[in-house]
Amino acid sequence: MSRREPIYLDHHATTPVDPRVLEAMLPFFSRDFGNPASHGHVFGWRAEAAVEQGRERLARAIGAADPREIVFTSGATESNNLALFGALRARSPARDHLVTVVTEHRAVLDPARVLEDQGFRVTRLRVDSRGLVDPEDLRAAVDGRTALVSVMAAHNEIGVLQPLAELAAIAHEAGAWFHTDAAQALGKVPLDVQELGVDLLSCTAHKLYGPKGVGALYLRGSRPRVRLVPILHGGGHERGLRSGTLPVPLIVGFGRAAEIATLEREAEARRLRELRERLFRGLSARLGGVHLNGDPERRLPGNLNVWLEGIRADELIAAMPDVAVSTGSACTSASGEPSHVLAALGLPRERVLGSIRIGLGRFTTAEEVDRAVERIAEEVVRRRALTAVR
């Protein structure tokens, strides 16, 4: 009997590069290897043209009015840092207040803490038991000194989709800019910066079947025109906002990945919802005590975050190396700390420690879902029995 491959169900952590994306990238590692800032010869021209095509594709994917509103970075973490530090420093001292949410990714929460240490005011909004922000809480938090409101579009742990358009409108009423970390949302749910009223948007390629090491920050070019203070200096690349030689192959891959995800989004979302329901029904049928975390409707198609009663999630995951799931964000999983996100929902410690995050993706099959159900259920039953014996 041949050994089966492990099942990958952690697509919120990262995704494999789509073969179509890899194919687009390959020439720019060898044949078309030029520096896009080299304007004196054909090698530079080809590289620059490839970068601009990637910029245009990404702009179309988010509904940007002008491709020049896209600034390439090393990933969503850098984009978030540039958005927060850049906006607060650009708008102070007249506006020195940041509003964000307690369930944000560490790539927003940590810069917010640093800004607070530097003398800026930071307000962290709470969420309800489903993980949603109450727009009235934001209305009460903003004032005439609020520079920026930062709210994640789609949550990386519980998949919750925030009401961005309503929140952005409230921010604008106070004269604040609105930023969203859309790393998990891009290519998976409709995302149009014009319709939503988003002024800054962070994203990354490796969450949508593109390469690791490249991301982008969208900055609205008019009404309002967003101006940031850069956090990197040395060459004036990307209109002076992000110095450093551009990684042409990665940008080509990012653009192609965004293009594919946008074209296939609706059909893929339907397929993933069906697989997610198949997975949840399968676990519920095999096990008692299976509870959904987060909003049941306003969530990413491929996200399932569940509490499995009577087990510790970290022990369950360690016992199943053949099924890749997680307890939460890949960036914080190594710390061993309980999820700050589930705790913020007001869930008891037992539920926080007993919850797993499952992320379905483009190459996940129904057969893999059924195998995962069997394997997870088998291990949960075994671990519950061990607990009962103790």
Contacts of 1 (CB under 8 A, 6+ apart): none
Q: Report which of 333, 101, 78 is spatially closest to residue 215, judged by C-alpha positions.
A: 78
Q: How far is CA 144 from CA 73, 95, 342, 367, 377, in A?
A: 31, 7, 32, 55, 53
Residue tagged active-site, from 90, 319, 331, 381: 331
> In this structure, are residues 21 and 249 in contact, taking their beta carbons and an 8 Å threshold?
no
Spatial distance between the Cα atoms of 139 and 229, rounded to a whole number of angstroms = 27
Task: Provide the angle, in degrees to the nearest 10, between the axes of the packed helices 42-62 and 248-286.
Answer: 30
Q: Report which of 120, 149, 121, 116 is spatially closest to residue 135, judged by C-alpha positions.
A: 149
Q: In what order do the strands lie in the sheet with 303-308?
A: 290-292, 303-308, 355-359
> In this structure, are residues 103 and 125 in contact, taking their beta carbons and an 8 Å threshold?
no
Q: How far is CA 73 from CA 203, 246, 327, in A?
A: 9, 9, 28
Spatial distance between the Cα atoms of 47 and 57, rounded to a whole number of angstroms = 16
Spatial distance between the Cα atoms of 358 and 373, rounded to a whole number of angstroms = 11
> In this structure, are residues 55 and 246 in contact, taking their beta carbons and an 8 Å threshold?
no
Spatial distance between the Cα atoms of 97 and 145, rounded to a whole number of angstroms = 6
Spatial distance between the Cα atoms of 156 and 373, rounded to a whole number of angstroms = 22
Q: Following CA atoms 168, 170, 171, 174 in sequence, which dihedral angle do they give, to the nearest 10 degrees?
A: 150
The structure tokens listed for 46 are 């080809």
The structure tokens listed for 74 are 């090393």
Task: Supply φ then ψ for residue 36, to 5 degrees.
Answer: -65, -15
331 labelled catalytic:
yes
> In this structure, are residues 36 and 251 in contact, taking their beta carbons and an 8 Å threshold?
no
Spatial distance between the Cα atoms of 158 and 127, rounded to a whole number of angstroms = 12
Q: Write out the catalytic residue numbers.
A: 331
